[in-house]
Amino acid sequence: MLSLQRLRGIDDVDKQMSVLTRDVLGDFFHPFRPEQAWLHWNDGTVANIATMIHRTEDFSALPILADALEDAGCEDEAALRHCRGPGPHIRGCWVVEALLPTNRPQVFHPGPEMTSVS
């Protein structure tokens, strides 16, 4: 039989997993789409900071990334708030991953002419 204390422990683990999952996946209803101009701004400052965070897993630099994104012209409040938030942050953070060069397929949003099936 599970004790009440053990059930509380499961709730804590579930909450932690939920927070970490959101850190990696972000918001499906408001995907972050960085503009190429941000990545090239100031000799690639945004891309360089994102790469450094990814390689070192030093997430204390996320507020610096938020400042650089904002200076580069980013107005995505969700991304800026996420970078300036308390975390926890882990490798795979949705903002950092979106700013890294990748060979993965990008999200494709079909136009209205491609959504109807004959």
Site of tokens 């060979």: 103
- Domain for residue 63, yes or no? yes
- Domain for residue 22, yes or no? no
- Domain for residue 72, yes or no? yes
Which residue range(s) make up the domain with 76?
A: 36-101
Q: Which residue from 24, 21, 26, 47 is spatially nearest to 36, judged by alpha carbons?
A: 47
Buried/exposed 4-41: b ≥16 CB within 10 Å, e otherwise: eeeeeeeeeeeeeeeebeebeebeeeeebebeeebbeb
- Domain for residue 117, yes or no? no
Residue 28 confidence (pLDDT): 66
- Domain for residue 8, yes or no? no
- pLDDT tens by residue, 86-118: 878 888 889 999 999 875 555 555 555 555 454
Residue 109 confidence (pLDDT): 52
- pLDDT tens by residue, 36-84: 999 999 999 999 999 999 999 999 999 999 999 999 999 999 999 999 9
- Domain for residue 7, yes or no? no
Residue 103 confidence (pLDDT): 54
* pLDDT at position 3 over 60: no
The structural domain count of the chain equals 1
Residue 11 confidence (pLDDT): 61
